[in-house]
Amino acid sequence: MRTLRICWIVQALMRRSILRSISKTGMKANKRVWLIYDLERYAKAGGYYELYFEHFDRLGFAVELIFVEKLSYESGFCYDGQRVELPLIAIVRTYNLEVTKELEKAGVQVFNNAYIAEYCNDKQKTYELVKAAGIPIPDTICLNKSDYIYKLKNYSFPAVLKSLFGHGGEEVYWIKDIEELKSKLQSIKEQTFILQQPVSESGKDVRIYVVGKDIIAAMLRYNPNDFRSNYCLGGSATRYHLNKEELGLVNNIISLFDFGMVGIDFMFDKGKTVLNEIEDVVGARMLYRYTDIDIVKLYADYIIKKSINN
C-alpha cells in the first residue's frame, strides 16, 4: 500500500518536470545534467527539485530527471529498458554508492563523488576518518550483533543506538538498558551498529551547509520534545554564528574531502563541539524557510564552474 501511494504521488509530481526535460532533449551531451532520485525521496521533495531545473537552465544546461529504480548498467547504461547517452554531469540525490561509482567509471562528473558517498554515508568510516584528523566525536563504540553482549558487560547506560547508514534521524534510538538494546536491534538490518554516550545538550545541534570549500550558512536546530533535533522530525531552526574554534573544525573537515554540497552536523557536549555526522544528500528546507539563501543556485554555479575547469 505504501509503495502504491508513493508511485501515485510521484506520477503527480513528475508531469511538469518530464515535460521540461523532454523539451530539452535536443541539447548536446555536454550540456546535459542528470538529477538522480529514488522514488520515495522524490515524493517527499515537494518543489525542491524544480530549483535545479531553474538554475541549470539559467546556465544553459538541461536537467533530466532520472529515477534510480529505472536505471541499469550491466551492459551499458539503460533507463527504463532503453539505452541512453550519458550526460556530462550527474547530481545524485539518493543513497546509492554503486550507481555513483559506475557513472564515474563511465566518465560522468558526479556530485557528490563516490568518495564522499562512501565515507559520509557510513558513520563508522566517517568517525574513523575525522577522529584521525583530530576532530572530536561523541564517546562512540562500534559493535557487532554476534558479540555485543559480552563487550557491554560494564557499559554505562543510557546510550544512543545508531545504524551505520541511517539518515534524517531514522534508525536512531534512545536506549535505557541492555534489554531495550536487544529489542531495538531488531529494527537495524546491518550486523554492525554504533552505540554512543548521550551528549550533555541533547535535542540541539548545528548544521553547517557547505558548497565546495565554502561555508554557506550555519543553522541551530532544536527540539524540546525529542533528543533528536532533526528539522524533518518537527524541530525548529534559527541562524547560528560559528565561533573561531567551530570554524576551525569545519574547515578541517572540508580539507579532508572534495565536497559538492553537504551538511556537517555538530552537537554540544560539556562545553565542547563534537561531530555528529556529515550528510551527503543534504536537505535544505530550513535554509529556504528561515533565510534568503538560495543554496541550489550556489551549488549549480559551483558545479558548472568545476565541470568546465575539469
pTM of the model: 0.88
Q: What is the pLDDT of residues 52-90, one digit of tens each?
A: 999 999 999 999 999 999 999 988 999 999 999 999 999
Confidence of residue 47 (pLDDT cuts 50, 70, 90): confident
Q: What is the pLDDT of residues 98-154, one digit of tens each?
A: 999 999 999 999 999 999 999 999 999 999 999 999 999 999 999 999 999 999 999
Residue 170: per-residue pLDDT:
82
- What is the Cα 156 distance to its own chain's centre? 31
Question: How much is the average pLDDT of 223-234?
Answer: 56
60 touches 31 (CB < 8 A): yes
157 touches 172 (CB < 8 A): no
109 touches 152 (CB < 8 A): no
Residue 301: per-residue pLDDT:
98
Cell for 41? 525521496
**For the residues of 26-87, what is the DSSP string, one character each?**
TS-GGGEEEEEE-HHHHHH-TTTTHHHHHHHHHTT-EEEEEEGGGEE-BTB-EETTEE----
The β-bridge partners of 236 are 222
Position 142, amino acid: C
How many Cβ atoms are within 10 Å of 150's Cβ, its own excluded? 7
Confidence of residue 227 (pLDDT cuts 50, 70, 90): low
* Integer Cα distance of 119 and 258 in angstroms: 12
169 touches 228 (CB < 8 A): yes
- Could you tell me where the DSSP H helices lie in 133-271? 148-151, 178-184, 244-254
The β-bridge partners of 206 are 220, 266
Share of the chain above pLDDT 90, in %: 77
* Integer Cα distance of 128 and 119 in angstroms: 9
Mean pLDDT of the chain: 89
Question: How much is the average pLDDT of 177-183?
Answer: 96
Residue 306: per-residue pLDDT:
95
Which of 293, 220, 229, 309 minimizes the C-alpha distance to 261? Answer: 293
Higher pLDDT, 27 or 290: 290
Q: Is 86 exposed, middle or buried (0-12, 13-18, 19+ CB in 10 A)?
A: middle
Block residue for cell numbers 541492555 = 178
| Lowest mean pLDDT, pick from 12-21, 232-241, 256-265 | 12-21
| Lowest mean pLDDT, pick from 10-14, 185-189, 265-269 | 10-14
128 touches 149 (CB < 8 A): no
Ordered structural domains, the chain, with CATH:
2-111 (3.40.50), 118-136+200-299 (3.30.470.20), 140-196 (3.30.1490.20)
Q: Is 170 exposed, middle or buried (0-12, 13-18, 19+ CB in 10 A)?
A: middle
